[in-house]
Amino acid sequence: QTGLTALDYGFVNTAATKSRITYIDGDQGILRYRGYPIDQLASNSTYLEVAWLLIHGELPTADELADFDERVRRHTLLHEDLKHFFSALPHTAHPMSVLSSALSALSTYYENGLDPKDPEHVEMTTIRLLAKLPVIAAYAHKKSQGQAFLYPDNNLSFVDNFLRLNFGNMAEDYEVNPVLSKALERLLILHEDHEQNASTSTVRLVGSTGANLYASISAGINALSGPLHGGANEAVLEMLGQIQESGEGVRRFVERVKNKEDGVKLMGFGHRVYKNYDPRARIVKESANAVLDSLGISDPLLDVAQELEQIALEDDYFKERRLYPNVDFYTGVIYKAMGFPTRMFTVLFAIGRLPGWIAHWREMSLDPQTKIGRPQQLYIGEGERQYPQR
Ligand code: SDX
Euclidean distance between CA atoms 199 and 353, whole angstroms: 9
**pTM summary value:** 0.94
Question: What's the pLDDT score for residue 8?
Answer: 55
What is the pLDDT at residue 289? 87
Please name the residues in contact with 197: beta carbons below 8 A apart, sequence gap of 6 or more.
229, 272
* Rounded Cα distance, 286 and 325, in Å: 13
229 touches ligand 1 (CB under 6 Å): yes
Going by C-alpha positions, the residue among 194, 212, 17, 217 that lies closest to residue 114 is: 212
The closest residue, in CA terms, to atom 2 on ligand 1 is: 197
Determine if ligand 1 sits within 6 Å of the CB of residue 203: no
- Assess whether the C-beta atom of 322 lies below 6 angstroms from ligand 1: no
Catalytic residue among 75, 191, 229, 271: 271
pLDDT tens digits, residue range 41-63?
Answer: 999 999 999 999 999 999 999 99
Output the CA torsion sign for 68, 69, 72, 73: negative
Nearest to 75 by CA among 54, 44, 106: 106
Ligand 1 close to Cβ of residue 350 (< 6 A): no
Hey, whose CA ends up nearest to atom 40 of ligand 1?
321
Residue nearest to atom 39 of ligand 1 (CA): 321
Which has the closest alpha carbon to 234: 64, 350, 387, 108? 350
Q: What is the distance in A from the centroid of ligand 1 to the CA of 171?
A: 45
Q: How far apart are the first and last CA of the chain?
A: 70
Question: Does ligand 1 lie within 6 Å of residue 280's CB atom?
Answer: no
Question: What CA–CA distance (Å, rounded) separates 283 from 305?
Answer: 15
Q: How far is CA 290 from the centre of its chain?
A: 22
Query: What pLDDT score does 16 carry?
Result: 86
Q: Is 323 in the pocket of ligand 1 (CB under 6 A)?
A: yes
Ligand 1 centre to CA of 311 (Å) is 18
Q: Is the CB of 271 under 6 A from ligand 1?
A: yes
Q: Rounded to an integer, what is the distance from CA 216 to the centroid of its chain?
A: 15
Instruction: Indicate whether residue 270 lines ligand 1 (CB < 6 A).
Output: yes
For ligand 1, atom 34: residue with the closest CA: 272
- Pick the catalytic residue from 160, 193, 278, 328: 328
* Residue of minimum CA distance from atom 20 in ligand 1: 267
Half-sphere exposure of 183 (CA within 13 A, CB side): 28
Protein residue with least CA distance to atom 8, ligand 1: 194
CA atoms within 13 A on the CB side of 59: 9
84 is catalytic: no
The length of the chain, given as a count of residues:
390
Q: Is 308 in the pocket of ligand 1 (CB under 6 A)?
A: no
Q: Is the CB of 22 under 6 A from ligand 1?
A: no
Q: Backbone phi, then psi, for 172, in 5-degree steps?
A: -150, 160
Nearest to 206 by CA among 375, 383, 8, 382: 375
Strands 22-25, 36-37: parallel, antiparallel or unpaired by DSSP?
unpaired
CA distance 242 to 248: 9
User: Is 328 considered catalytic here?
Assistant: yes
Which atom number of ligand 1 is nearest to the Cα of residue 326? 13
Closest CA to 353 of 136, 203, 142, 235: 203
Mutate to test the pocket of ligand 1, among 190, 258, 321, 353 (most ligand atoms within 8 A of CB): 321
Q: Return the DSSP state at 3.
A: S
User: SS3 of 297, please?
Assistant: coil
ipTM value for the complex: 0.96
pLDDT tens-digit readout, 283-322: 999 889 889 998 898 999 999 999 999 999 999 999 999 9
Residue 191 CA: which ligand 1 atom is closest?
A: 8
> Which residue ranges in the chain fall short of pLDDT 70?
1-14
